[in-house]
Structure 1
Amino acid sequence: MHDEQADHTPDSALTELRRRLEGGLARAGVKKTDLVARTRLGRTTVQLAFQTDGPVPSAQTVTALARALKLPVEKLLALQQVAAGGGSSDRPGPGRPIGQWDPHALEVHPAGSAQDGTGSLGQRLLPGYVPRGHDRILAEAVQDEAAGHSRMLVLVGSSSTGKTRGCWEAVQPLAKQGWRLWHPFDPTRAEARVKADRGDRLLVGALTRAGKDGRLAQDLAGGPALLERYQTGAPAARALLEAATDARRLGVGLHLPQAFLTDAAADYLHDTDWDQLTDDWAEKAYAELAEHVHGKHAPLSRITPRPQRRPPGPSPDSTPSPRPTGPVFRLADYLEQHGRTIRRHLCPTASFWHAAHTHLTRPDNLYNLTRAADTRFRLQWAHHLLHRAASHGSTNALARLAVLRERAGD
């Protein structure tokens, strides 16, 4: 069988790949904007796939375009593999060497084009670079990275103020050291790496939850079991978990008082389930949720908060925050993350707001719930929670009350 890959270098393979895509586009009689709708790719992704000086399109992009244009998928993927340098399995990592990138392919805005002898526009050029204050911070981050210390920076600014150009200039010292640059065009910047390494999504979540403890194996093993316990648990236990999830996602701290959770859970129960509760329903529900699954995780664990130790002195920070009386519980990190996703569009019940106003005492928790109630148009609860937060020492709540009174003419 003839090996079409052997006939091409990476450059010629990329040229041939784009020639076939352009031919398919012409024969289909469609525009690139039509391909966006047919393939569900981003406009930039489609545009760069046809752009002469653009990066090599991903295998997913080539597959989607080939199917939309009724082109032979396997032949185009063979060309894509050669153009990408032999396929992902032979490459040391994502991206390509920094020196092989065209800065304009990284979305550095063109500042103009040079004119050739005929007066026509020629190759796009970059103007000279004038360093600014933020370039020093970027350079320090690059130096730390080269020394083996990872950092993350977010460069913020209005459109066309030089953000991408600044990043491009900052990484140039790494080009001489053979570093690679990965610019995730496809499918989106946030999703591209996860799509390329499907298993990394689990590791990213586990790393986020494990924190400094490093209990990755326990988290990966216990997560599905925790989710099953949530989905198949008794109605009362599920109500407690949902109340705890809503509390965490709306700004309440890790330590959830038992009295708050018990009162908050009431309206999370269906009327039929509520009518069937026994006098010891709460005791049974907490016992059910305290049972461990794989990795010694429990859906809702009773904890003992460490005492806060601060230097003595008459400073405002030396006054400890009110501590809840009675048992305190913590929601499993895995269930909290899951709940933030599935309940993100839901508003807590009336029993939740009533329990928060009745039992919570930490000023930061109360003020966070004030804002959450206000954005969800629970304005009466927002009013009462704001006053309670102020009475427990929240300076933010006091300032907010002052603004409201001033608007009212007081």
Structure 2
Amino acid sequence: MTARLDRRRPVDEWSARQLGVHPAIHGTGTPEDTGGFVLPEYVERDHDRRLRDRLRRAADRAHPVLVLVRGPSSAGKTRTAFEAVRACLRDWELVFPKTPGGLAALLDAGALVPRTVLWLNEAQNHLDSPAGEEAAAALHRRLEEPGPLVVLGTLWPEYHRRLTAAPASGTQAADAHPHARALLAQAAAVDVPASFTAEALADPRVGRDPSLAAAAATSTDGQVTQTLAAGPQLVDHYWRPTGPQGPYGRAVITAAMDARRLGHSSRLPAPFLESAASGYLTAEQRAAADPATWFAGALAYARERIKGVAAALGPVAGPEGMGALPDVHGLNDYLDHHARTARRLDVPPGSFWTAVRDHVTDTADLSALAEAASTRGRFRIAADLYRKVADAGDTSALGALARLRTKAGDTGEAERLYRQALAAGHPEAMTDLTRLREEAGDPEGAERLAWQAADAGDIWALVVLAQLREGAGDFDGAERLAHRAARAGSYTVARHLVRLRDVRDPEGAERLALEVDFDGKSRVHSNLWYVRGELMEDEDWERTEGESHYRGLVDGGDVPALSNLARLREKAGNPGGAERLYRRAADAGDTSALRNLARLRAAAGEAGEAELLYRQALDAGHVKALADLAQLYGEAGDAERAQRLSRGLEADGSQAQPW
């Protein structure tokens, strides 16, 4: 079904409510039962001036621009964008696609004509959706066409990090968002602070507007916009449930929080929430519940509007027409944001996973939740969910299911699943099947499969082939593979092949590293020096050109070189020098350096700082920091917290039984 084309309208015809601005709390003396949309006076701050300057310049340019208004939940991003468009582009038209399909329809129809604002409120809903990569590529193409045109989006910082993060160097992780990363690299970002400054709080409008005055009087740390949207009160409503239905409402809200933070991005069905909630309640609370009425009471508590504005769970509008969809709910954005910090170390109970299996049907949601289960050591649950995805017709889950069967030792079933994935059009399964054949003692069959995978475009198969060639003593064959990998643009593969060569033929490895560095950045050659630095005695390394080579890369701003040199400093017994380099790497955007920095801080006896760094690493998406935290708590004597994290929560599942 083709998505309906959203209509362009003059900017003046759009209201704040239509464009997604949250209604504010009612001020003192204002009737709270009128049901009206409250829009306080607007207090301009420094970020408003920066955004409006960008929009005015964009109006005079001949080509399109992408502007991001970035900030945490309830910081006022949408209101900032709304006021800026009205101030600077009032004589333009604006179009607001409500769904990824609506955005695709606008782009396909060529409807983004000059002097149009494309309004992407909560841009992650478009770019982090199953169709997000296609939308990002199409938007990128539109930015290359004539303007003037403004693409104006709002985005949380954590979504910006996720969408712009490149796969870690030296890993086989898939690049999940290459088009979104390329698109967002074109953006001019304006950051909205979470708090009002003292100067902003002194603005006369704060005192004369009832809503602003009430928010300023009850806010801490200047977080006026969050209070306007009842964020803190909503969190308090969650953490401190009141009344007989309070604990049941909190259980339902917690199930919704866990679903969202673990990857369930679509609306939440009521049967799922009802089924999941039991595991978040005590035995006494379950025994006291009336089976016929407890869930209705829990929903009433979760849907209670705080300050007449925000509820933990809200109705979900249908794609067309009026009214809410029956038996589905949406989680409040501010609570979603809060849960990603407050519950990041918590594992959902068994009832949650059972409810996912029984009541979640969207394959994208199931895949994300299956991955979350797998990274937390819940392999049997993950297998059940991946099987459900595959049975629903999404054959991309077959490879993940096969890897779980391999982990469980069932290589026969794993091979059957890999071949099923191949037949369904997933050539990347060939490399996994190659490894399986090699481990089963069939090198000839493995080599045949590896060549097929490489010919189909799976460059990682070249590593498998190189290992086979090295094992057979065919160094020339391995060298040819390194060149092929480099020509295909895979310097990670080329580095791996050079390392293989270095074991038996150091001079050949040196020559090969220099030959495959076609881009002049010496990435492969640098990797070779790093490997040798790990193997050499410290004083020998200090005298090689590798040390000066790395110092040159670091001085030139090479971020991966910072972490590599930090590791070598650490090996040489210089933790202070290593820390300084890790901090520089983290400040430059290498979030993996946070874990190494935390480890050094823990070794220095600074457990508090180490915990903070591990939590920052978790926020940046490094789930393995869970295992690091468990170890830190154990060493500090906090056995209960350590055991809670160790019960299958490690990201690699190393301490969890697969089945």
TM-score normalised to structure 2 length: 0.28
* Pair member with larger Rg: 1
TM-score normalised to structure 1 length: 0.44
Query: Whose RCO is larger (CA < 8 A, sep 6+)?
Result: 1
